[in-house]
Amino acid sequence: MKIKKKHLLFTFLLPVQVVLVQISGQYPAFIEHYYSNGIYPIISRLLRFLFGWIPFSVGDLLLAFIVFAFLRFLYRLFKSRFKNLIPKTVHLTAILSVIYFCFYFFWGLNYYRAPLGETLAYNQKEYSTNQLIKTTNYVVEQLNFYQLNITHNDTLTVENPYSKNEMYLMAVAGYRNLEADFPMLTYKSPSVKSSLMSLLQTYNGTSGYFNPLTGEAQVNDRIPKTGYPTTTCHEMAHQIGYAAENEANFVGFLAANYNDDVYFKYASYRMAFAYLIGEVRKRDRQAYTEIWKKAHKGILKDFKNSATFWQSYKNPFEPLVKKGYNAYLKANKQDKGTASYSYVVDLLISYFKAQDNSFS
């Protein structure tokens, strides 16, 4: 078996691409202007136009095919006792080179764009513990307000009445409201779907994912429905080019918060509270305890139910998957890995400060 010239070419291009991506990462203003606000919106809308109308997740099927093809490659390699190892390895590397190119060209370069806080002129500085506590107190007040508005009883948990497909449509309305104040967060050509691999995602401890090869936002349709609106909005944030997890969390919060529906507003403050109270716990245990005492019993039950749900799917493989994803995030300019999700606190505090100087 001879090595094909095209396979050799694509194999050679893989390290070249890696170097070019790393060099590009040194010029966020260039990426922001020419890619994130230039080429990418065209690519993303084209992908959503091509795959958005299909009722099932094409991205899930594509991912399953890639995994199957890789396992088949390994099986045939072992079966042949590593016959023609070098040509087969070159062929595999050539395929990886194409996937690598598609990943970064279709979406991945957004990891290297200018920070959202900078784009919004938040002039972020390290927030004080006092700012954190003030913001968390405000958010728990809002959370209490919407919980009571929905249930009319502070001991009852919020029960989201909408179907998954209804929430996918409703989420778009939140983004439309958001456009007036944040034109850079415009969302068009919707493509949000329930994942065909929701059960697997649940065992992996993930609520959803974005497939850059098809432009589809995939949501785990098994997760508790009270958090479903923000998960949907989070994945949609990835679609419009916000790759960093903290930024997608923040945009997801905004889109749910700007929605006219009370269940979306509740979900937005629920998500914000979860991240804020986590940071309070690290800095001031007494304040942490006092703030939790302010939350309505119905909210405490909601968080407990969510924790119980995820605990029931705990398994030995989940930490391994999270370590892999952690490494992936670190390789894409998120130095803290999965911990970068909690960096949304910086953006939340800056946002509330911009709305009201009393949070300074």
Task: List pLDDT tens digits, range 63-88.
Answer: 999 999 999 988 888 888 878 788 88
Res 228 pLDDT > 90: yes
274-326, pLDDT tens digit by residue? Answer: 999 999 999 999 999 999 999 999 999 999 999 999 999 988 877 777 777 67
200-222, pLDDT tens digit by residue? Answer: 999 988 999 999 999 999 999 99
- In what order do the strands lie in the sheet containing 208-211? 192-194, 216-219, 208-211
Query: Which pLDDT band, with edges at 50, 70 and 90, does 339 fall under?
Result: low
Tokens describing residue 79:
């079966």
* pLDDT for residue 336: 58
- Mapping DSSP to helix (H, G, I), strand (E, B) and coil, where does residue 193 land? strand
102-141, pLDDT tens digit by residue? Answer: 999 999 999 999 999 999 988 767 889 999 999 999 999 9
- Contact of 340 with 346, CB cutoff 8 Å: no
* pLDDT for residue 273: 97
- pLDDT over 90, % of the chain: 77
Reading phi first (left if > 0) and then psi (alpha if -120 to 50, else beta), residue 121 is in: left
- Mapping DSSP to helix (H, G, I), strand (E, B) and coil, where does residue 192 land? strand
Res 36 pLDDT > 90: yes
* pLDDT for residue 145: 98
Length of the chain measured in residues = 360
The label of the residue with tokens 């130095």 reads 335
